Amino acid sequence: MKNIGKGTQCVQGGYTPENGQPRQIPIIQSTTFKYATSEDMGKLFDLEASGYFYSRLQNPTCDTVAAKICELEGGTAAMLTSSGQAASFYAVFNIASCGDHVVSSSTIYGGTYNLFAVTMKRMGIDFTFVDPDCTEEELNAAFRPNTKAVFGETIANPALTVIDIEKFANAAHSHGVPLIIDNTFATPVNCRPFEHGADIITHSTTKYMDGHGAAVGGCIVDSGKFDWTKYPEKFSGLCTPDDSYHGVTYTERFGLEGAFITKATAQLMRDFGSVQSPQSAFMLNLGLESLHVRMKRHCENGLAVAKALEADDRIAWVNYPSLPSNKYYSLAQKYMPNGTCGVVSFGVKGGRRAAEAFMKGLKIAAIETHVADARTCCLHPASATHRQMNDEELAAAGVSPDLVRFSCGLEDAEDLIADIKQALDNI
Ligand SMILES: *Cc1c(COP(=O)(O)O)cnc(C)c1O
C-alpha cells in the first residue's frame, strides 16, 4: 500500500505475517542458523546469497525492527546497533578512516563529541567543529580535500539547537560528501531529514523510540541517494573490491540503495560486533508501536512546561525550540511543524548552586542521565554528562553551567508544572 501514514508505519511497519504466522514479531533468540551444505553457507560468506548465519552480523528480529525504522525514515536500508554510540561510530567510520577529516556541528551529544574529538581522533580522523548557526561561508571554509562527511543533530542534546538541514546538506553536497544526521530527539514522527537533503540518519533508539527506559540501542538508516560512484577515489571502500569479501564491490553488487549498510554490516559488525540483542529489538519494537502517540504527548507536555517556566520570574532563561520566543522557532516550524521533542532546558536564577538545589527538591522528575523517557527525568549536564569539558568547550557545545535539562515524560502536564513550582519554592 502506498502513502501509508507514520502512525500506521509505527504500528505495522517492517513486518507482515503470512497466513498462520505470529501476529507479534518472533524473537529469534539464536546465535546461529543451520544449512544443508557447506556450499550454501559459502555463498553467504561471499555475500553471493542473502541469509542468516551468525547473529553477530545479522539477526532476523533485529532486521525486522530495522526495516520498520527504515520505512519511517523513508530510507532504502537500515541496521540496528547495540547503542546510539555504535551507530554514530559506524556511520562515520564506514566512510572515514585514518588520515581523513569530518565536519561536525559543535552542538552535539556529549558522548558523540567525546567519540569524535578524543577516540576517533586517536584513530587518525580529524574533526572540525562548526557552530550550527554559522554562515554558509564559515561552513564551506571548514572543508578540506580529505573531508569525508558532515555530521549534525536535528535537535541537539542537550543544547536544543535546531540544525538547518538544507544549509548543511548543500554544503556537504557541494563538497562531494554525505550529510549524516542524528535524528534521535526529533524521531521520524516529527522530522524526516532525508526529505531535506540528509543522506544517512543515525538514532539512539534508547531514547524516544524505546521510550520506556528498557533497552539501549541504535540504528543507522541510508537514504540510498548519495552517489558514492561519482567519487570513487574518495569512497574507495564502497567503490573498489573488498578483499575480505572475495573482491565484492559494494556499490556494484548492492547498488546505491544497499551499499552503505551492507558494507557497515559485512565489515564493521563482523569486526566490532556491536549488535543489538533480539530481545532488545523486540522491546524496541513495542516502543515503536506507540511512538507517534507518545511523541505528541511528549511535545504537548514540553510546550506546557516551557510556557510555565517562561512565565516564572525565578527562571533566568528557557530554551525550547517550539516556543515562539525561541531563537530556533522558525527553523523548528520549518523542519518540525508538528512539534519538536519533550526536552526543555532552562537556567534557575542563582546559577549552578540554585540549579542543584532545585533538582534536589523535585518529587516527580527524577535525576537521571537518561532523557526522552516515559517518566520525566532531569539532569545538570555541567556536573554530569559534560563534566570533562572546560568552560570554553561547554560554551561551544551550547551548555551553560546553570543549564538544567528537563525531559518531559508522559505524565500530566499540571503535575509536572506543580512539581517544578514546589521545587522552586524550596530552593
Ligand atoms: C543518547 C544519545 C546518543 C548515544 O546513544 P546511546 O544509545 O546512549 O549510546 C547519541 N545521540 C544522541 C542525540 C543521544 O541523545
Q: What is the mean pLDDT of each run of 10 residues along the chain (427 residues)?
A: 88 96 97 93 84 94 98 98 98 98 95 96 98 97 98 94 98 98 98 98 98 97 98 97 90 97 96 98 98 98 98 97 97 98 95 88 94 95 77 76 93 98 94
- Closest Cα to atom 5 of ligand 1: 84
pLDDT for position 305: 98
Instruction: Specify the residue with its C-alpha closest to ligand 1, atom 4.
Output: 84
How far, in Å, from the CA of 303 to the mean position of ligand 1?
A: 23
Q: Are 158 and 252 in the same domain?
A: yes
Interior angle at CA 418, CA 414 and CA 420, nearest 5: 120
pLDDT value, residue 390: 75
Q: Which amino acid is at 122?
A: R
Neighbours of 19 (CB within 10 A): 4
287 lines ligand 1 (CB under 6 A): no
CB 131 within 8 A of CB 91: no
**Which of 264, 285, 306 is the last residue before a domain boundary?**
285
Residue 306 lies in a domain: yes
Tell me, what amino acid is at 357?
Answer: A
By the 10 Å C-beta count (0-12 exposed, 13-18 middle, 19+ buried), 100 is classed as: buried
Residue with the smallest CA separation from ligand 1 atom 6 is 84
What's residue 135's pLDDT?
A: 97
CA 334 remoteness from chain centre: 20
Q: Which of 285, 306, 339 is the last residue of a domain?
A: 285
DSSP summary character for residue 119: I
Q: Which residues are CB-neighbours of 365 under 8 A, at least 6 positions away?
A: 376, 377, 378, 406, 416, 419, 420
Residue 13 included in any domain: yes
- Is 183 found in the same domain as 65? yes
C-alpha 193 – ligand 1 centre gap (Å): 17
What spacing in Å lies between the alpha carbon of 372 and ligand 1's midpoint? 10
Mutation probe of ligand 1 site: the residue of 85, 154, 274, 284 with most atoms within 8 A of C-beta: 85
Question: For position 36, what pLDDT does the model report?
Answer: 92
Residue at 96 is within a domain: yes
Domain membership of residue 1 (yes or no) is no
**Whether residue 312 is found in the same domain as residue 262:** no
Helices marked H in 180-274 — which ranges?
187-190, 236-239, 250-263, 270-272
Whether residue 276 is found in the same domain as residue 419: no
Spatial contact of 257 and 251, defined as CB atoms under 8 Å apart: no
pLDDT of residue 50: 85
28 near 278, Cβ under 8 Å? yes
Quick one: angle between helices 351-361 and 413-425, nearest 10? 120
Domain total for the chain? Answer: 2
Residues 159 and 232 in one domain: yes
User: Could you tell me if 186 and 62 lie in one domain?
Assistant: yes
Give the ligand 1 atom nearest the CA of 185: 13
Distance CA 408, CA 25 (A): 30
What's the Cα-to-Cα distance from 155 to each of 108, 160, 232, 325, 380, rounded to whole Å?
9, 5, 32, 17, 18
Q: Which domain holds residue 237?
A: 6-285
Final residue belonging to a domain, choices 234, 263, 285: 285
Residues 87 and 156 reside in one and the same domain: yes
**Any ligand 1 atom below 6 A from CB of 83:** yes
Residue of the CA atom closest to atom 15 of ligand 1: 157
In a domain, 378, yes or no: yes
pLDDT of residue 110: 87
Q: 109: CA distance to ligand 1 center in Å?
A: 7
Q: Are residues 89 and 203 in the same domain?
A: yes
d(CA 115, CA 122): 10
pLDDT at 1: 60
Same domain, 211 and 242: yes
11 and 81 share one domain = yes
Question: For residue 206, which atom of ligand 1 is closest to its CA?
Answer: 7
Tell me if 202 CB under 6 Å of ligand 1: no
CA angle 284, 81, 374 (to 5 degrees): 30
For residue 402, the model assigns a pLDDT of: 85
Tell whether 61 and 119 lie within a shared domain: yes
206 lines ligand 1 (CB under 6 A): yes
The CATH number for 323's domain is: 3.90.1150.10
Q: Same domain, yes or no, for 94 and 224?
A: yes
Regarding the beta carbon of 81 and ligand 1, being less than 6 Å apart is answered no
pLDDT of residue 2: 66
- The DSSP 8-state label assigned to residue 131 in this structure reads -
In angstroms, the CA 320 to CA 328 distance is: 8
Q: Is the CB of 184 under 6 A from ligand 1?
A: yes
CATH number where 107 lies: 3.40.640.10
Q: Determine which residue's CA is closest to atom 12 belonging to ligand 1.
A: 109
Which residue from 184, 181, 185, 182 is spatially nearest to 199, judged by alpha carbons?
181
